[in-house]
Amino acid sequence: MLIDSHAHLDMPQFEEDRDEVIRRAGEAGVAWILTVGSNLGESQKAVEIAREHERVLAAVGVHPHDAKNVTQEVYPQLKDLARGKKVVAIGEIGLDFYRNLSPPEVQKEVFRCQIQLARELRLPVIVHDREAHRETIEVLRAEKAFEVRGIIHCFSGDFQMAKEALDLGFYISLSGIVTFSKTALLREVIKEIPLESLLVETDSPYLTPVPLRGKRNEPAYVRYTAAKVAEIKAITVEKLEEVTSENFLRFFASKL
């Protein structure tokens, strides 16, 4: 059994064949898919998709790229969405200082507010962090995110970042990036992360793993990431699938 801990089934890239994508995932052994919103509209779509498909769960939140568009009216709407039966987390939230599509201070404020919402609702958070490792940990600590815990998705940090996230009770989720040729340092970090703290994901339709680079990513392809992580950890693919699935199911047990 495999679980795709982070996908974006709401994206327009899936509009024409979303049902087929979900069917193919099931045929590939993917038992659950967590589809994650990036803004209010996409979060609403994620919730709708989860309602329509038995093995799809949803997270709702505003990505740092969209932080500049957040008004005070957004938070109560997210709160209403988050109360849905199949909504398991607040996300995707965090910081992205690589593209800086929203001003850094605005990103931080929206990040803080959404952690506060998660704590109010007793939901974990799904965190986006790119070129903002130190600042991400600082905000998580300051807003007491350890009270609800969460997932650092598409992990790209160093071992210090991983250790600090683990100390906060967070899981580390690995994407198709681990299959890329220029991620040797990340692979060294993965060797040091306890297996019991790992998840695997696609971040589809993005970050298609080797050997399918150039194609649209989809949840069925999480098996390529799982195989690479198993190789890095020097264990069987079956063991990697078993443990990462158990990690996910244990973490979200109250919502399943």
The closest alpha carbon to 190, from 223, 155, 215, belongs to 155
**In this structure, are residues 78 and 106 in contact, taking their beta carbons and an 8 Å threshold?**
no
Could you tell me the residue ranges of all domains in the chain?
2-255
- For the whole prediction, is pTM greater than 0.95? yes
Per-residue pLDDT of the chain (256 residues; tens, 9 = 90+): 999 999 999 999 999 999 999 999 999 999 999 999 999 999 999 999 999 999 999 999 999 999 999 999 999 999 999 999 999 999 999 999 999 999 999 999 999 999 999 999 999 999 999 999 999 999 999 999 999 999 999 999 999 999 999 999 999 999 999 999 999 999 999 999 999 999 999 999 999 999 999 999 999 999 999 999 999 999 999 999 999 999 999 999 987 8
Q: What is the DSSP string of 141-161?
A: HHTTGGGT-EEE-S----HHH
Grouping H, G, I as helix, E, B as strand and the rest as coil, residue 239 is helix
β-sheet bridge partners, residue 4: 33
Q: Which residues contact 238 (CB under 8 A, 6 or more apart)?
A: none
CA distance 243 to 33: 16
CATH class of the domain defined by 2-255: alpha beta
